[in-house]
Amino acid sequence: MTNRDRLKQLMVEVFLLDPAEFHFDLAAENVDTWDSLGVVSLAVGLHETFGYHCTPEEAVAIRSVPDIIRLLSSKGISFET
């Protein structure tokens, strides 16, 4: 499984999405469950899945899938296809 696959699965499970709803440009404003509690779940999930522990500031600043990819890529986690 690639990191892109892991990220897709994580997003589907954290935000309870239909897999067909997911795309790599997804943003918080398009997801009902992406609220302040969703941010907490996402931060826990990113730690469990990718081993990176977001700071609270980083977690709050994540507003889209590209934001996640940018953050994790800056920590050396590759999302190259």
# residues near another protein by CB under 8 A? 12
Could you tell me if 70 and 76 are in contact, meaning their C-beta atoms sit under 8 angstroms apart? no
Provide the minimum distance between the beta carbon of 54 and another protein in the complex, in angstroms, as a whole number: 10
Does 43 help bind another protein (rule: CB under 8 A)? yes
Closest CA to 58 of 81, 79, 76, 75: 75
Provide the minimum distance between the beta carbon of 22 and another protein in the complex, in angstroms, as a whole number: 14
Query: Is residue 74 left, alpha or beta, with left meaning phi > 0 and alpha meaning psi from -120 to 50?
Result: alpha
**Chain residues that interact with another protein, rule: CB under 8 A:** 13-14, 16, 33, 37-38, 40-41, 43-45, 48
